[in-house]
Amino acid sequence: MTEPVPATVADRPVSLVDLLDRVLAGGVVVSGEITLSIADVDLVHISLRTLLSSVSALVPAHD
Amino acid sequence: MSEERGVWLYAVAREAGGGGQRGVAGEAVRTVAAGGLVAVVGDVPLDAFGEQALHRNLEDLDWLGAVARAHDAVIGAVARTGPVVPIRLATVYHDDDGVRGVLEERAEEFGRTLDRVAGRTEWGVKAFVDVPPPVPRTEEAPSRRGAGAAYLARRRAERDTQAEAERLAVEQAGKVHFRLTGLATAARTHPPQSRELSGHGGQMVLNAAYLVDDDRSRAFAEAVAACDQDSPAVRVQLTGPWPPYSFADWEDR
């Protein structure tokens, strides 16, 4: 009775968060030659901190 | 060449797929073959995608969002044509030889992962619970006699109610995870997203990924919906289908 949800929900921050969960924290790590340091956990923290501080600007406060 | 370029790695597969796709720099995606495998790559300018530039640009949410979506779109296109190993965002090589090197060096591991994800899809499941806010009212300092004791009792009751709600929610999330794991060939949990990031009012008690046989994905989606209806206190949400991001690492679990 329930269909799987479509792949792209909308351009909402919530789906970006789910995406970042995967493309940053998930995904196999094969160290590139240029961005060796990018593949570590720090990046996730940096990006999510940015996201966290920006998200209030993107999502209108719901009452 | 006037502009220095690097080779951005999107995915590894057995056969070429995702042709015609545009990548993170708007570039036409191409393939590099070695070790019986194919890497899906794109040529990206290092002034935007080099190490220094990446550190700077990844702090820019709009940039990060666009790049993450483009990266995901390429991997998704490859996934539609066959099993795929998604590569983590921002993996860049100097040239095709570097890419060939990693394909040859890790051919066996890539092969194992491709076998594991073949005919399967990743689904995300998040569970939220509406836990009462921690301290609803602390104003109105008690002035009358006995009001202090009443205040403390009320605070204790509130705390107990909240603790109980949290305990029940975690228990329910555990049941959901157990039930869904039974329908999947593998399961992973991600750290719960913060309330602000998830965009939901509730507290996230489960943020999991499941690798599901394609012929069971309908049953899986139905099970998620059933879990959502099981308990009014816990909302369960399905996301996906995703390329097998959460199941592409090397450990066999």
Query: What is the ipTM, given to two decimal places?
Result: 0.79
What is the bridge-based pairing of β-strands B84-86 and B186-189?
unpaired
Let me know whether B22 and B98 are in one domain. yes
Reported as a single tens digit per residue, the pLDDT across B200-216 is: 667 888 999 999 999 99
Let me know whether B162 and B234 are in one domain. yes
Let me know whether B152 and B48 are in one domain. no
In the stretch 5-34 of chain B, residues with CB closer than 8 A to chain A read 6, 9
Let me know whether B74 and B168 are in one domain. no
Query: In a 10 Å sphere around its CB, with 0-12 CB exposed, 13-18 middle and 19+ buried, how is residue B249 labelled?
Result: middle
pLDDT of residue B224: 96
> In chain B, what residues touch A8 (CB-CB under 8 Å)?
none
Q: How many CB contacts within 8 angstroms connect chain A with chain B?
A: 157
Reported as a single tens digit per residue, the pLDDT across B112-136 is: 999 999 999 999 999 988 766 555 5
What residue type is B199 in one-letter code? G
Structure tokens at B75: 């991997």
Q: Model-level pTM?
A: 0.80
Let me know whether B214 and B140 are in one domain. yes
The DSSP result for chain A, as a single string, is -PPPPPS---S-HHHHHHHHIIIIISSB----SS-GGGGSHHHHHHHHHHHHHHHHHHSPPP-
Q: Which domain holds residue B47?
A: 5-118
List, in sequence order, every residue forming a beta bridge with B9; answer none if it has no partner: B41
pLDDT of residue A11: 42
Distance from CA of A63 to the nearest CA of B (A): 11
Let me know whether B241 and B203 are in one domain. yes
pLDDT of residue B64: 84
- Please name the helix (run of DSSP H) or strand (run of DSSP E) that holds residue B193, with its range, or none: none
Distance CA B203, CA B201 (A): 7
